[in-house]
A and B are shown apart, each in its own frame.
Chain A
Amino acid sequence: MSLDRAARERLVRALAASMIEHAEELTSLDQAIGDGDHGLNMKRGFEAVLATLPGLADKSLPEMLKAIGMTLVMKVGGASGPLVGTFFMELGKALPEQPARADLVAATDKAINAVKTRGRSEAGQKTLLDVLVPVQAVFAGGGDARAIAAEAAQAADRTTPMLATRGRASFLGERSIGHMDPGSRSASLLISAAVAALEFEAIS
């Protein structure tokens, strides 16, 4: 996969647009079971990322991803800043400049493990890992853009009946059941935006 400058910028703009457009939805999900700032936090973070364009897209793909991660860590706040920021930073560290699909699979695997370590969490606790882990399985299994985006949306939906045992929602115990996890929703939106922007079928 070779992402030229235009494609890198398109990716950044698509990720940011997905968070900015869905900020209110994410915040309202977070008001149900968290502290009600997830949408605002993610929007602030990705607006800060946008502000680093056009220079951001001049960087190589790995350097660009690391820079996005660092901006998110510094600007998003909440627990999401370090978690989502770590994903991008580790993805950047693990990717070669012109990754083949296998490189991308290996790199996303490392990035997801870094998120697990950062959050001291595993899938099944009603967090963004409940999207990242199943989507990674589809990706590693050869799934195309449509399959990846579909799994991301379904995985976020599957967090609704889950009991939160990690993160702020875990304070609510059984009252966390019946609400979609906001971090899973934002992860799902970012994944869908990324695969759409990358014209993922072209990756081989």
Chain B
Amino acid sequence: MSNSSSGNVGIVIVSHSSKIAEGAADMVRQMVGNAVPLAWTGGDTDGGLGTNVAGILEAIEAAWSPAGVAILVDLGGAETNSEMAVEMLAEDRRARVVVCNAPVVEGAVIAATESSGGSSLAAVKRSAEEFYA
């Protein structure tokens, strides 16, 4: 997990595989450097393939920005667990975290690039999701 302090929208990468999550984060870092708060999480609580709510909550905390956090997920459980994590946040934070309907690697890179220019959370989400459009 890595972090950066900035006013830009934070990016959280959630994959069933910690290697995919970390690798996608590496790609984001190469694209946007430290301009964007970034964190990743992958794997279940035993270190196997899967996702877990505690890990996602930690990642949201690590990538927190007053501008909000955009979460990129891979398959079903990653999305469901991310939505669960968002609901467990304090109320003032809940509305500032979104789960993007976008491919995890491409979506993360595009979202981070958009965020690095100072775009709003809504704009970051829209850019990531345009990949599917």
Segment from B79-87, B102-110, B113-121 that makes contact with A? B79-87
A residues contacting the other copy or chain, number (CB 8 A): 21
For chain B, residues 5 to 61, give those with C-beta under 8 angstroms from any C-beta of chain A: 16, 44-46, 48-54
Beyond A37-B48, A37-B49, A41-B50, is A77–B77 a contact (Cβ under 8 Å)? yes
Residues of A at the B interface (CB closer than 8 Å) are 35, 37, 40-41, 44, 73-75, 77-83, 85-86, 118-119, 167-168
Q: Which residues of A contact B16 (CB under 8 A)?
A: 35
Q: What residue in chain B is nearest A48 (Cβ atoms)?
A: B45
Q: Which residues of B contact A167 (CB under 8 A)?
A: 76
The complex places the Cα of A172 from the Cα of B10 at a distance, in Å, of 34
Min Cβ gap A186→B in Å is 15
Once the chains bind, are A79 and B53 in contact (CB under 8 Å)?
no
Residues of B at the A interface (CB closer than 8 Å) are 16, 44-46, 48-54, 75-77, 80-81, 83-84
Q: Which residues of B contact A41 (CB under 8 A)?
A: 44, 50
Min Cβ gap A187→B in Å is 16
Min Cβ gap B20→A in Å is 14
